[in-house]
């Protein structure tokens, strides 16, 4: 799932990855991708989008994944779990989603503001993002 870091001189690749990051952030803001699953996916872009490793928005997703990496949120993971164990974990997943939602959505809004194409608006209301 992870890709090698982009060459810092490969501007088209960096821009492509930033567009993918914005698409993912918007999907999270719309509720199409859960907070935990989205944080995991966002980490693919941590080094490939030409961001500093101490980027505040990306560190939000690093922290979420670090705290919740034991939870099965990806369908391919869940396929290997016992139904009773999944039921127990689903309660914890729901609690973790609620706990991390404000910080994750703030980071998503920031990424959209920072990296959306200049002709795209970046409204703060997730219902307006399309």
pTM, to two decimals: 0.81
Between 111 and 82, name the one with better pLDDT: 111
- pLDDT of 1: 42
Would you say 115 and 24 are in contact if contact means Cβ atoms under 8 Å apart? no
Share above pLDDT 90 across residues of the chain, in percent, rounded to a whole number: 57
Burial class (CB in 10 A: 0-12, 13-18, 19+), 47: middle
Give residue-wise pLDDT tens across range 86-114: 998 999 999 999 999 999 999 999 999 99
Query: Is the pLDDT reported for residue 76 higher than 90?
Result: no
Helix (H, G, I), strand (E, B) or coil at 107: helix
């Amino acid at each position: 799932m992870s890709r090698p870091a982009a060459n810092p001189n490969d501007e088209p690749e960096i821009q492509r990855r930033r567009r993918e990051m914005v698409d993912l952030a918007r999907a999270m803001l719309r509720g199409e991708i859960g907070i935990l699953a989205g944080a995991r996916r966002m980490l693919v872009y941590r080094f490939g989008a030409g961001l500093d490793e101490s980027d505040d928005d990306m560190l939000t997703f690093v922290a979420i994944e670090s705290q919740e990496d034991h939870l099965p949120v990806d369908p391919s993971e869940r396929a290997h779990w016992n139904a009773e164990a999944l039921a127990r974990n689903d309660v914890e997943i729901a609690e973790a989603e609620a706990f991390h939602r404000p910080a994750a959505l703030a980071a998503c809004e920031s990424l959209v503001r920072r990296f959306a194409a200049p002709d795209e608006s970046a409204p703060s209301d997730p219902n307006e993002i399309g």
